Chains A and B, each alone.
Chain A
Amino acid sequence: MSKVLTDIQKSEAEAEKIIEEARAKAEQIQRQAEREARETEPKVRQELTEEIALIQKDVESKAKTKARQIISKAEKEAATLEEASAKNMKKTVDLIVSGVYEYGGAS
């Protein structure tokens, strides 16, 4: 009878150990979850920072390409203006000269 009791006590001790181990593991899981929770915001911030940096790089790259096209178009337009205005230069000079002569009432 006493052996039966001893065996049962052993089993109870073993059961207690199993539960203690489970509690220890649960605490470890909880601590791990808490640690991960504390690290979550900096981690998310870092991920967002990297994501936004890529967006910015892409946006700036596209904008710079378009900016070069805009400047190039303006340079061509400026050159075209110069060529187009050359044929109008004489009549413009006449207009200016006439404008000056108007001050003397003789345009």
Chain B
Amino acid sequence: MSKGSAADMVQKTIIDDAKAEAKRIVDEAEVAGRQRTEEALENARTNLTGWADRRRQMAQDSGDRILGKAQNDAHMKILEAKAKIIDGAFVHARKQFEKERSQARYKTFLKNLIINAGTQIGGGDIVVLARKEDQALVSKMTGLATTISKAAGQSAKVSVGKTPMDLIGGVFVQNKEGNITVDYRIDTLLGQVGTQKRNEIAKALFGEEAKTE
């Protein structure tokens, strides 16, 4: 081996070793860098898991809210439609009463209402308030005071209020002082029927129980 060649070999070895060391340094840095990136990604995913899950759930919930509101609105539409139809039946019933005034059963009905009311008041001076068309009818009724007296256990006197009431039928009955009253106006009774027979009415109309609230 020549002298020059030996020196060259030493020089080459120095450079090769340096390059190997340089490669090791860079390789290690790259491995560490990749690890750092992976760790950062893993940490970010861990840190954001709860947040992302809540946001995903909120996204799903927004769909559920839309559907819930639609179902509620749909339910309300059906209920409103039923309520409207039931109201319509009461409008028809009210009109029916306007036609009933001349019928015998209406007269009997009116008489019974007065007797019931007079009995509830407990006899005494009973004043019957009625619509103009019924005032004469009530005036002509016989046996009212006697029946009320018997039922109430106290003598009774029945008179018709002079001022006619603005109503479609029925009576508003009170004692002389006006502090005890019984409201048997048709509109009031229709309201009571609407409350008490709501399910029956719905069943008659729709073949099912009422769900109008």
Residues of chain A having any CB pair with chain B under 8 Å: 4, 7-8, 10-12, 14-16, 18-19, 21-23, 25-27, 29-30, 32-34, 36-38, 40-41, 43-45, 48-49, 52, 55-56, 59-60, 62-64, 66-68, 70-71, 73-75, 77-79, 81-82, 84-85, 88-89, 91-93, 95-97, 99-101, 103-106
Contact = CB atoms under 8 A, between A and B. Distances in A.
B157 to A, nearest CB: 21
Contact of A75 (B77, B89, B110): B77
B167 interface: no
Contact of B74 (A11, A12, A26, A73): A73
A70 B70 contact: yes
Given A7-B7, A104-B113, A37 B70 contact: no
Nearest to B90: A96
Contacts of A95: 197, 200-201, 204
Given A60-B62, A67-B66, A95-B197, A16 B189 contact: no
B40 A74 contact: no
Contact of A60 (B28, B47, B63, B204): B63
B204 to A, nearest CB: 4
Given A11-B10, A41-B47, A97 B97 contact: yes
15 contacts: A15-B14, A18-B21, A25-B29, A33-B36, A48-B52, A49-B55, A70-B73, A71-B73, A74-B74, A93-B96, A96-B193, A97-B93, A97-B96, A106-B108, A106-B109
Residue of A30, A44, A48, A74 with most chain B CB atoms under a 10 A cut-off: A74
Contacts of B165: none
A45 B48 contact: yes
Contacts, number: 223
Interface string B128-144: 00000000000000000
B190 interface: yes
B184 to A, nearest CB: 6
Task: Sort chain B's interface into a size bin.
Answer: 35 or more
B153 interface: no
A11 B59 contact: no
Contact of B25 (A16, A22, A78): A22
A52 B52 contact: yes
A45 B34 CA distance: 20
Given A15-B18, A96-B194, A105-B112, 8 more contacts: A11-B10, A14-B15, A18-B18, A40-B41, A77-B81, A97-B96, A101-B105, A106-B108
Given A48-B48, A93-B93, A37 B19 contact: no
A56 B59 contact: yes
